[in-house]
Amino acid sequence: MSTTTTKMPPAPTWDLESIFSGGSSSPDLAAYRDKVKQDFKAFEKDIANLPDTLDDSTASAWKKAILDMADMIERLGLISSFAHCLVSQNVKDNKAHGIEGEADAQIAEWQKCKTILQIKAGKQSDAAWEKLVGSEELKGQRFYLNEMRNQAKEKMSPEMESLALELAVNGYHAWNKLYDKMAGDLSVEFDDGGGAKTLSLGQLATKMSDSNRTVRAAAFGKLTEAWESREDLAAMTLNALGGFRLSVYKNRGWDNFLHEALQMARISQKTLDAMWAVVAREKDKLIPYVDAKKKLLGIDKYRWYDQFAPCGAVDKLYSYDEAASFIYDNEKNFSKDMAEFAKMAIEKRWIEAEDRGGKAGGGYCTRFGPFKQSRIFMTYANTYENLLTLAHELGHAYHGWVLKDKPLFAQDYPMTLAETASIFAELLVTDAALTACTDPSEKLMLLDQKLQQPYTLFCDIRTRFLFETSYYAERKNGIVGAERLRELMVAAQKEAFGSMLDASGYHPLFWCSKLHFYISDVPFYNFPYTFGFLFATGVYDQAKKEGSAFAEKYRALLADTGSMTTEEVAMKHLGVDLTKEDFWTDAASRATADVAEFVKLAAEAK
């Protein structure tokens, strides 16, 4: 599977032309947007005129409003996703930026319409509502609609909620966009030995996985300098976001600032507490991994910039075609359905993978709902990490494929379950690579990649959760200044990393540099990652025990992710109670099971 050859064929670009030919200047896209605008006006009018009372005489109007609501968000989602793909493949496509911004504004208007319907739904009798959601036309969407109605009982008046949504566009969400602009504009002069270059912060971040510690330390220093120049602005932004959020919560009568995050994750506080209790206890199993890595790297103090230092066969390269074949060959041993989907997505060029300038950083999978297709964005640079990213994003795409024929609102799964298929695919591919590996140096690299996940999700992600928890507790009482934000971040890192991170190696400005703290759409954009990793690990454990016989059960589990709470999915398909620590303990033990093997190989490598 692997090679040390540096001459690699370029990875492919994706096919967007079959969706709307011509990119941001596409006449078809322009016509589609015009039709959506026209239809949206009619939809807004229908929502405004929706009868206040639901009964037999008004049921048809209510059904139409709900079905139109689903249709409108699916079409708006297509425009937004397509424009985002255009922006990702060419960050200077200003026309695409404008189209994406327009779609975001329309989605905000859609949210206002949904709020009107939602609050009206909350006022209907249980009998009338049950008759409506049990109708043939709304079949399969009962869970989402009941959830929507129940949440209405916890909200402000329609007028207040609409006002909050309207103010959010130019206030709440604008702070998010301001942060993105501020972060995007930051650049540094950096010399890693090949001459000084101007790097974006995204490009600079890659230097912190360099094998040369001097380069890593210098990159971290430059990152810190860059954010020190914007620290006060970042603090102002974070306080504005937190203040807006807490004001809305107060007016809704929500005392717990985690209320919305738990609601969106479709989990209970008890479940979240059980998971974090296990993580806090089990994280120390990773200490031998970090100690072995320190010896391997020849360092005595493990600092923030050492966390992603490579180990083992760092020169191994994997061509895109090799990666695609490896993923297919090993997925088919578990699920032919999963493997054939991956093959189809690759052959139909649903993946943007070419390594070139002008692209955005990162990777993602997005759905084109009306076309029942997905697109994957990444930059494939022939590393094993890239191979894993490809498997990860194909897992997301497979999840969408399983759900594609369900009613739209039955496809809406929470972030806690969003990582199930992606992490599952990663675990499957990594174990296959480890089984096939005969080179100790390559195996060391693979094990390091595998153990990076629990290390990051038990320590780094927990840091983010602990920081936000303490920040919101203090923000309730007023502005939290930049110096105090530094103190809260260091305290969170001390608790989450314990002895694994040296006291000289904290990142006090992590609250500045991590964009997840500034995402206005999703509060506490952190714990679902650890949750998803451990949940997927538990699902994978079941697959290991049952083999290919589990493939259909796995597909059925994914198919239910938009139609149940997270706890209900776990109970139905795994027979486990997520409010108890047993499941989380077993999953954490599997996640750290390779520590002893890594320590052994690291000692032999020395």
Q: Please give the full DSSP string across 82-102, using - where no structure is assigned.
A: HHHHHHHH-TT-HHHHHHHHH
Q: Rounded distance, CA 151 to CA 216, Å?
A: 47
- Inter-CA distances, 514 with 172, 180, 183, 526, Å: 18, 11, 10, 11
Confidence class for position 518, pLDDT limits 50, 70, 90: very high
What type of residue is 466? L
Tell me: pLDDT of 383 over 90: no
For the stretch 303-314, pLDDT in tens is 999 999 989 877
Stretch among 382-386, 390-394, 401-405, 464-468 having the lowest mean pLDDT: 382-386
Alpha helices by DSSP H, 229-335: 231-252, 259-265, 269-282, 287-297, 320-331
Both tokens of 286, joined, read 């990773």
Q: Which residues contact 397 (CB under 8 A, 6 or more apart)?
A: 341, 345, 350, 365, 374, 376
Q: Rounded distance, CA 587 to CA 146, Å?
A: 32
The strand pairing partners of 376, in sequence order, are: 351, 365
How, if at all, do strands 196-200 and 351-352 pair? Answer: unpaired
Question: Can you say whether residue 534 is alpha, beta or left, with left for phi > 0 and alpha for psi between -120 and 50 degrees?
Answer: alpha
Q: Which of 499, 472, 500, 504 is nearest to 488 (CA)?
A: 472
Coil, strand or helix at 454 = helix
Task: Answer for the pair 120, 406: CB distance below 8 angstroms, yes or no.
Answer: no
Task: Answer for the pair 265, 570: CB distance below 8 angstroms, yes or no.
Answer: no
Q: Report, as an integer, the average pLDDT of 489-500.
A: 97
**Number of C-beta neighbours around residue 177 at 10 A:** 13
Both tokens of 375, joined, read 């697109």
Total residues found in the chain within this entry: 606
User: For 23-176, CATH number?
Assistant: 1.20.140.70
Coil, strand or helix at 253 = coil
Q: Rounded distance, CA 49 to CA 11, Å?
A: 52
Supply the pLDDT for residue 30. Answer: 98
Q: Rounded distance, CA 554 to CA 305, Å?
A: 38
Supply the pLDDT for residue 2. Answer: 52
Supply the pLDDT for residue 534. Answer: 97
Kind and range of the H or E element at 486? helix 482-497
Q: Report, as an integer, the average pLDDT of 505-534.
A: 94
More confident position, 192 or 413: 413
Tell me: pLDDT of 6 over 70: no
- Inter-CA distances, 303 with 216, 308, 320, 361, 513, Å: 10, 10, 33, 25, 17
Q: Which of 487, 489, 486 is nearest to 467 (CA)?
A: 489
What is the 3-state secondary structure of 272-290?
Answer: HHHHHHHHHHHHHHHHHHH
Widest distance between CA atoms in the chain: 79
Tell me: pLDDT of 64 over 70: yes
Supply the pLDDT for residue 1. Answer: 56
Tell me: pLDDT of 7 over 90: no
Supply the pLDDT for residue 407. Answer: 96
For the stretch 200-259, pLDDT in tens is 887 788 788 888 999 999 999 999 999 999 999 999 999 999 999 999 999 999 999 999
pTM of the entire structure?
0.92
Supply the pLDDT for residue 5. Answer: 47
Q: Report, as an integer, the average pLDDT of 180-198.
A: 86
Supply the pLDDT for residue 186. Answer: 87
Q: Report, as an integer, the average pLDDT of 134-143.
A: 94
DSSP structure string for 139-202: TT-HHHHHHHHHHHTTS--HHHHHHHHHHHHHTHHHHHHHHHHHHHH-EEEEESSS-EEEEEHH
Q: Which residues contact 65 (CB under 8 A, 6 or more apart)?
A: 46, 47, 50, 117
The owner of tokens 């006002």 is 163
Tell me: pLDDT of 187 over 90: no
**Number of C-beta neighbours around residue 257 at 10 A:** 21
Q: Which class for 220: exposed (0-12), middle (13-18), buried (19 or more C-beta within 10 A)?
A: buried
Supply the pLDDT for residue 9. Answer: 86
Supply the pLDDT for residue 123. Answer: 92
Q: 375-379 contacts: CB < 8 A, separation 24 or more?
A: 375/14, 375/16, 375/81, 375/85, 375/350, 375/351, 376/14, 376/345, 376/350, 376/351, 376/352, 377/14, 377/85, 377/88, 377/89, 377/352, 378/351, 378/352, 378/353, 379/353, 379/354, 379/355
For the stretch 357-371, pLDDT in tens is 788 777 899 999 999
- Inter-CA distances, 110 with 98, 117, 521, Å: 18, 11, 14
- Inter-CA distances, 92 with 42, 365, 547, Å: 34, 21, 47
Tell me: pLDDT of 553 over 90: yes
Task: Answer for the pair 467, 539: CB distance below 8 angstroms, yes or no.
Answer: no
Tell me: pLDDT of 91 over 90: no
Q: Which of 572, 592, 589 is nearest to 581 (CA)?
A: 589
Rank 32-41, 91-100, 114-123 by mean pLDDT and report only the highest.
Answer: 32-41
Coil, strand or helix at 575 = coil
For the stretch 568-598, pLDDT in tens is 999 999 999 999 999 999 999 999 999 999 9
Q: 492-499 contacts: CB < 8 A, separation 24 or more?
A: 492/463, 492/464, 492/466, 492/467, 493/463, 495/462, 495/463, 495/466, 496/283, 496/458, 496/459, 496/460, 496/462, 496/463, 496/466, 497/459, 497/463, 498/283, 498/284, 498/287, 499/287
Confidence class for position 75, pLDDT limits 50, 70, 90: very high
